[in-house]
């Protein structure tokens, strides 16, 4: 369809997007309905009935979704940054600690992980955009239109509501300035005038301004004086009602977009004519519908069973007595030879519906790969612990597979969006407080101790003093203990420009692929049983490291147990016949 301007294009495509779309033979799909039904089913609401709490609803969807949220969660600690250069490990350490202690907190990466994970599980996919300050999660509920067969094929538009205060905040991003035909002040005035007109007509006024953000390859003439017939651009427009009650559009922002800023991850196989995979809620539509049906029928049974209906062949008694208004233990008279009794209203097939509901619950659990141990259910009596542990591990296989797929998506976001942003920040120079684990504390203490000891000995050489045998090692040990005595919280200082002249290549490994932490801990525990047979083996650094790993995998802090403390070297008594001789500084020391 031919559109004259961006305003008619947005309104026309939004209207067309609300129609059903053919995925394949005998399968029509509606994106808007999919999003709406997913939200309703997740929160225990009816899509086609009135939600007035007079109809029972048993939500079997939400608990299964929450199980998947837990089982497929990627923790920030599973993201590891490092420099792909064996001679620049210290840069890897600094980038890693800056990411964990500063960048992740300032950019709320934990929240970003959770939002994208839940979005892709619920709806079957998630969209992430490269923003000015890092990755931005796009809420699918705000999608105005897109190519329904593939998010990335054609233009994509989001509709968001903004308060006047939020619009003024957007001025920092150039709204109302860059390529705009209306300022924010003018838009708010138009919005308020439109609301006043609606109130005068007895209509409901709007609290927020609807703003459309359009990305994609669009006619060059819409952007400005460009020769290209189509050009990638970003356009932000808003609509208000004029005096005639017609929707009128204004442009708040318009600029060229040099690359597609979006990345998409689907929670399953990509279908040919559908932009979303089979969603986690969507796969539970049928079990939830039939569970609701059964609960509704059971409710009707209970209503019938709660009624006490009498019968009698005494017409005079039936016409002359209002039993409902009688008090308890009221004595009634029935003509001789007549009878009175209760009509049975107890349901005779209630168990059929109970069984059907249980069957639907079991079916839903299979669809969500939710086994008994993962649901927190107790194993049958007599089940060996190892067998139960194996059931848990096997039940996680499908979730681990999905987690690995999602970790690839997180890795792509890091490599294309987050890591360049981190490096840009590091070039400016940063000083921050970091909390070190045992291995990091050992590394920092060892490097700083060698450097401080070298400076002390260099000063002695320059002053003409002699260096005794073993003095270098003693100075390093003193400096190491002094640094470790500060504690696990240390200030790290990245010099300005330190990352600028170095071709920094950073990779990301996420998901702890192939690692079974429970099995690793079990094996380490078995090894440590051998160590306990000879306590003196703890003086061996290798055995001490095994012990440290056991504590870490158990969720404890090795520093609390004094692991890997330096073993004091015994001082050899000097022999009276020998005099300590000064040593000449080595070439290594002279070059420090």
For 121-130, how does the pLDDT look when each residue is reduced to its tens digit (9 = 90+)? 999 999 999 9
pLDDT above 90 for 580: no
pLDDT of residue 514: 45
Mean pLDDT in residue range 528-543: 67
Lowest pLDDT segment from 86-90, 208-212, 581-585: 581-585
Q: Give the model's confidence band at 578: pLDDT under 50 very low, under 70 low, under 90 confident, else very high.
A: very low
Grade residue 584 by pLDDT with cuts at 50, 70 and 90. very low
Greatest Cα pair distance in the chain: 135
According to the model, what pLDDT value does residue 276 have?
97
For residue 510, what pLDDT band results from cuts at 50, 70 and 90?
Answer: low
Residue 372 has pLDDT above 80, yes or no: no
Higher pLDDT, 11 or 245: 11
Least Cα distance to 555 among 523, 590, 506, 518 occurs for 518
Q: Do residues 374 and 67 make contact, with C-beta atoms less than 8 angstroms apart?
A: yes
Q: Which of 304, 151, 178 is nearest to 252 (CA)?
A: 178
Give dist(CA 477, CA 362) in Å, integer.
63
**DSSP, res 414:** I
Least confident of 53-62, 303-312, 438-447, 499-508: 499-508
Top-confidence residue, 127 or 496? 127
Residue 204 token pair: 């409901």
CA distances from 399 to 165, 269, 320, 374, 393 (A): 42, 15, 69, 11, 10
Q: Is the model's pLDDT at 581 over the cut of 50?
A: no
Q: How far apart are the first and last CA of the chain?
A: 74
Residue 385 has pLDDT above 60, yes or no: no
**What pLDDT score does 537 carry?**
59
pLDDT of residue 373: 63
Per the CB < 8 A criterion, the answer to whether 430 and 91 are in contact is no
The answer to whether residue 525 scores a pLDDT higher than 80 is no
Contact 32, 17 (CB under 8 A): yes
Cα(144)–Cα(214) distance, integer angstroms: 9
Q: Which two tokens stand for residue 423?
A: 């490096």
Q: In this prediction, what percent of the chain has a pLDDT beyond 70? A: 81
Q: In the prediction, which pLDDT does 92 show?
A: 82
Q: Return the axis-axis angle of helices 438-462 and 541-553, rounded to nearest 10°.
A: 140
Q: What is the mean pLDDT of residues 487-515?
A: 69
What is the number of other CB atoms lying within 10 angstroms of the CB of residue 372? Answer: 15
Q: Read off the pLDDT band of 59 (50, 70, 90).
A: very high
Number of other residues whose CB lies within 10 A of the CB of residue 414: 23
At residue 306 the predicted structure's pLDDT band, cuts being 50, 70 and 90, is confident
Section 29-55 average pLDDT? 90
The pair of structure tokens assigned to 541 is: 């650094």
Which two three-digit tokens encode residue 562?
């004094």
pLDDT at 198: 78
Helix (H/G/I), strand (E/B), else coil: 28: strand
Over 80: is that where the pLDDT of 212 sits?
Answer: yes
pLDDT value, residue 381: 61
pLDDT for position 589: 32
pLDDT the model gives residue 579: 43
What is the pLDDT confidence band of residue 538, given thresholds at 50, 70 and 90?
low
From CA 505, how far away is CA 501, in angstroms rounded?
A: 12
Judged against a pLDDT cut of 60, whether residue 333 lies above it is answered with: yes
Provide the token pair at 495: 């010099």
**Which of the residue ranges 23-27, 354-358, 546-550, 553-557 would you say has the lowest mean pLDDT?**
553-557
String of DSSP letters for 520-576: HHHHHHHHHHHHHT-GGGGGSHHHHHHHHHHHHHTT--GGGGTTTPPPPPPPPPPPT
Tell the burial category of 440 from Cβ atoms under 10 Å away from its Cβ (0-12, 13-18, 19+): middle
Between residues 167 and 322, the one the model is more confident about: 167
Q: What is the average pLDDT value for the chain, to the nearest integer?
A: 83
The reported pLDDT for the residue numbered 375 is 67
To the nearest whole percent, how much of the chain has pLDDT over 90? 39
CA distance 164 to 209: 8
The residue whose two tokens read 């907190």 is 105
- Return the DSSP state at 207: S
Least confident of 134-148, 188-202, 470-484, 497-511: 497-511
Beta strand extents in 167-222 (DSSP E only)? 209-219
Lowest mean pLDDT among 360-364, 392-396, 464-468, 510-514: 510-514
pTM of the predicted protein model: 0.78
Mean pLDDT confidence for 177-197: 92
Q: Which residue has the higher pLDDT, 584 or 59?
A: 59
pLDDT of residue 520: 59
Alpha-carbon gap, residue 150 to 164, rounded angstroms = 34
pLDDT at 347: 81
The mean per-residue pLDDT over the stretch 100-121 comes to 94
E-strand stretches of 361-461:
430-435
**343 vs 495: CA distance, rounded Å:** 89
Cα distances (angstroms) measured from residue 185 to each of 4, 165, 467: 27, 11, 75
What is the DSSP-derived secondary structure letter of residue 47?
S
Q: 182 is written with which tokens?
A: 């209306």
Q: Kind of pairing, strands 143-145 and 340-343?
A: unpaired
Assigned token pair, 493: 């200082």
Query: Would you say residue 497 has pLDDT above 60?
Result: yes
Distance CA 230, CA 244 (A): 34
pLDDT band of residue 202 (cuts 50, 70, 90) is confident
In angstroms and rounded to an integer, the radius of gyration of the C-alpha atoms of the chain is 36
Task: Say which residue, 500 or 131, is predicted with more confidence.
Answer: 131
Label residue 577 by pLDDT band (50, 70, 90). very low
Cα 252 from Cα 87, distance rounded (Å):
50
Tokens representing 322?
């209002």
Cα distance between residue 49 and residue 44, in whole Å: 12
């Amino acid at each position: 369809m031919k559109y004259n301007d961006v305003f008619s294009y947005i309104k026309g495509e939004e209207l067309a997007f609300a129609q059903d779309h053919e995925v394949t033979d005998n399968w029509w799909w509606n994106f808007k309905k999919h999003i709406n039904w997913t939200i309703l089913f997740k929160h225990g609401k009816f899509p086609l009935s009135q939600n007035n709490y007079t109809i029972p609803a048993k939500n079997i969807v939400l608990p299964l979704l929450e199980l998947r949220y837990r089982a497929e969660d990627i923790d920030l600690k599973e993201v590891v940054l490092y420099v792909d250069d064996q001679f620049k490990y210290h840069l890897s350490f600094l980038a890693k600690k800056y990411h964990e202690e500063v960048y992740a907190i300032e950019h709320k990466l934990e929240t970003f992980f959770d939002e994208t994970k839940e979005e892709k599980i619920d709806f079957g996919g998630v969209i992430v955009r490269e923003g000015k300050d890092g990755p931005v999660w796009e809420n699918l509920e705000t999608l105005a239109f897109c190519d329904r067969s593939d998010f990335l094929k054609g233009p994509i538009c989001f509709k968001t509501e903004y308060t006047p205060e939020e619009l003024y905040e957007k001025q920092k991003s150039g709204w109302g300035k860059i390529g705009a035909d209306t300022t924010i002040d003018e838009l708010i005035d138009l919005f308020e005038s439109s609301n006043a007109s609606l109130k005068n007509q007895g209509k409901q006024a709007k609290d927020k301004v609807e703003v459309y953000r359009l990305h994609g390859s669009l006619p060059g003439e819409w952007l400005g004086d460009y020769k290209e017939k189509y050009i990638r651009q970003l356009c932000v427009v808003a609509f208000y009602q004029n005096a005639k009650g017609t929707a009128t559009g204004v442009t708040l922002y318009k600029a060229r977009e040099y690359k597609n800023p979006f990345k998409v991850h689907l929670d399953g196989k990509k279908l040919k004519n559908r932009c979303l995979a089979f969603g986690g809620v969507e796969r539970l539509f049928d079990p939830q519908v039939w569970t609701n049906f059964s609960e509704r029928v059971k409710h009707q049974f209970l209503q019938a069973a709660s009624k006490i209906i009498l019968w009698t062949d005494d017409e005079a008694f039936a016409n002359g007595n209002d039993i409902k208004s009688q008090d308890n233990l009221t004595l009634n008279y029935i003509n001789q030879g007549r009878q009175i009794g209760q009509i049975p209203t107890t349901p005779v097939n209630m168990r059929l519906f109970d069984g059907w509901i249980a069957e639907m619950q079991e079916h839903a659990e299979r669809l969500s790969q939710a086994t008994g141990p993962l649901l927190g259910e107790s194993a049958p009596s007599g089940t060996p612990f190892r067998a139960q542990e194996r059931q848990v591990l096997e039940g996680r296989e499908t979730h681990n597979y999905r987690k690995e797929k999602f970790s690839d998506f997180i890795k792509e976001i890091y490599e294309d969006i987050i890591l360049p942003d981190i490096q840009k920040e590091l070039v400016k120079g940063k000083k921050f407080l970091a909390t070190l684990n045992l291995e990091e504390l050992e590394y920092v203490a060892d490097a700083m101790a060698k450097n401080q000891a070298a400076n002390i000995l260099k000063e002695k050489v320059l002053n003409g003093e002699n260096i005794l045998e073993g003095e270098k090692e003693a100075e390093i040990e003193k400096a190491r203990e002094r640094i470790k005595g500060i504690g696990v919280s240390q200030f790290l200082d990245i010099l300005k420009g330190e990352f600028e002249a170095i071709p920094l290549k950073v990779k990301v490994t996420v998901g702890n692929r192939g690692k079974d932490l429970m099995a690793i801990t079990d094996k380490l525990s078995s090894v440590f049983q051998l160590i306990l047979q000879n306590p003196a083996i703890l003086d061996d650094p290798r055995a001490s490291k095994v012990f440290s790993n056991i504590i870490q995998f158990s969720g404890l802090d090795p520093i609390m147990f004094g692991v890997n403390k330096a073993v004091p070297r015994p001082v050899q008594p000097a022999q009276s016949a020998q005099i300590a001789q000064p040593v000449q500084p080595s070439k290594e020391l002279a070059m420090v």
